[in-house]
Amino acid sequence: MDSAHLPGHGRFAPSPTSALHLGNLRTALVAWLLARRSGRGFVVRVEDLDQVRVAAAGDIADQQLRDLEALGLDWDGPVVRQSARLEIYAEMARRLPSYPCFCTRREIAAASRAPDGNPRSGEGDWLPYPGTCRGLSRSRRAELAGRRPPALRLAAPVHHWTVHDLARGTQSGRVDDVVLRRNDGTWAYNLAVVVDDGLQGVDQVVRARDLWPSAPRQAMIADLLGLPAPGYAHTGLVTGPGGKRLAKARGAAGMAELAAGGLSAARVRAVLCRSLGLPEVDRLTDLLAGDPGIDAALRPPRGAAADSAEPGPLEAGPLAGPRGWWSDVALDAPAEGTSGQPAGSTQEAGSANRMSTT
Ligand code: GLU
């Protein structure tokens, strides 16, 4: 059989900058399920390029892997760590059209805002780089290099790129001269993620929907490197008590804290399965049997946008309609033996889906 037609790999790629919270674990479970149920391999990659943030979090990569195992996930081959692949990123960056950029964050923000103070991109807070350093003369570059080390930017050949998401359909998003290497020498996430997905044979990228706006930039870089663009599947966000999004920055509880609060790994598994409309199984491998009900729960609705031949503009907001891995969900996870909200009791029109975990 022609191996080019075999399915590739799915993946989960956590940054070891904080413990995996319920939202991360839910995304990992979806990534594993979509990969394994489609006959793909599944790889785990530790995205530890930002050594300052990784060190500040206290070397938690191994704990993250143990948490994935405790949930019941397995993966193929050794775990890849980005910090061990710096030469590969350097080699791949050399293949891309690029230029040194001396701008500070403040200069970019000032140049990217319209006179009314709003970002010119029209895509939330994201400020596309306005190209200030792209046309600098050789002598000006030499002069500026004496003042501060430059970042390295891609010289993007286009302004938009079209990408496909399993739930969102085909959408076209703005792309810019994305940073390839930061001015402290750190290889940028947008380069590393594309290189690794390409070299690891990842053809299905499952991650939370806050990263959907970066998909066009990443697919463009893949194309410039001659790597196939993966298909995407962006999961909904999980909110906690009070409807606040679970976020690393807000110290959302990881497995250890959940366990300390009485929420065992088995309970977390049940909570996540229920939030995905899946049966609460003892072993996750029970979800890999050919049960058509599971396929139905994992299949996103095919709306007009998803079926349209013309790509629409990139929409990063929550998806309305039937619930599934693509929808936002509120998980107020009480411990065993405590009383939580009855199922569905607090769901409000227009709010994230709320599911009791009792
Ligand atoms: N490492 C990223 C994170 O933990 C995810 C990158 C990706 O899935 O593309 O937020």
Determine how β-strand 151-154 pairs with β-strand 179-181.
antiparallel
Atom number, ligand 1, closest to the C-alpha of residue 208: 8
Residue pair 250/14 in contact (Cβ under 8 Å)? The answer is no
Rg of the chain (C-alpha set)? 21
332 Cβ below 6 A of ligand 1: no
Strand-pair partners of 355:
331
Where helices occur in the chain by DSSP H, the ranges are 22-37, 51-57, 61-71, 86-94, 105-112, 138-145, 189-199, 215-224, 255-260, 265-275, 292-298, 304-307
CA distances from 128 to 73, 104, 123 (A): 37, 14, 9
Average pLDDT, the chain: 87
Residue pair 279/33 in contact (Cβ under 8 Å)? The answer is no
15 Cβ below 6 A of ligand 1: yes
Q: What pLDDT tens digit does each residue of the chain (358 aa) get?
A: 444 556 899 999 999 999 999 999 999 999 999 999 999 999 999 999 999 999 999 989 999 999 999 999 999 999 999 999 999 999 999 999 999 999 998 888 887 766 565 555 556 667 889 999 999 999 999 999 999 999 999 999 999 999 999 999 999 999 999 999 999 999 999 999 999 999 999 999 999 999 999 999 999 999 999 999 999 999 999 988 777 777 766 667 888 888 888 889 999 999 999 999 999 999 999 999 988 999 999 999 876 555 567 888 999 999 999 999 999 999 865 555 544 433 332 333 233 344 444 3
193 Cβ below 6 A of ligand 1: yes
CATH number of 90-191: 3.90.800.10
Residue pair 238/23 in contact (Cβ under 8 Å)? The answer is yes
Q: What SS3 state is found at 71?
A: helix
Dihedral sign from CA coordinates of 298, 304, 308, 313 = negative
Residue length of the chain = 358
Distance 81 CA to ligand 1 centre (A): 13
Distance 118 CA to ligand 1 centre (A): 27
